[in-house]
């Protein structure tokens, strides 16, 4: 779309917390880059009419990602206890990658 300075477009205003009319105040690549809410007159980046994620959502996403990446430690079998006949696991760390010449 070709926006022009001063064009009135819809966008989400975080101050009004809803879609409001905005004036284009800055352009980029033929589209709106910055807009000014015509209700509260605050400038902000054009968001393509998308509401930004709330802090609550961000927190939720953070927790979700933490679960996904397996932050919970795996159950470590106690040392020296022969449970199901498996080999006793050594807790020594594997040697990491070293920069050897």
Phi/psi for 23 (5° steps) reads -100, 140
Q: Which residue reads 């998308």 in tokens?
A: 50
Residue 67 Cβ vs Zn ion, minimum distance, rounded to whole Å: 36
When asked if residue 40 is in the footprint of Zn ion (CB under 5 A), the reply is: yes
User: Can residue 39 be called a binding residue for Zn ion (CB under 5 A)?
Assistant: yes
Q: Can you tell me which of 5, 8, 10, 15 binds Zn ion, judged by CB under 5 A?
A: 15
Nearer to Zn ion, 39 or 48 (CB): 39
Q: Tell me which residues touch Zn ion (CB under 5 A).
A: 13, 15-16, 37, 39-40
């Amino acid at each position: 779309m070709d926006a022009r300075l001063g064009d009135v477009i819809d966008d989400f205003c975080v101050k009004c917390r809803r879609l409001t009319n905005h004036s284009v105040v800055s352009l980029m690549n033929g589209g709106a880059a910055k807009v000014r809410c015509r209700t509260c007159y605050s400038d902000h980046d054009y968001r393509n009419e998308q509401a930004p994620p709330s802090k609550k959502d961000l927190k939720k996403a953070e927790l979700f990602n933490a679960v996904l990446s397996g932050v919970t430690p795996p159950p470590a079998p106690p040392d020296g206890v022969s449970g199901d006949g498996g080999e006793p696991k050594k807790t020594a760390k594997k040697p990491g990658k070293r920069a050897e010449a």
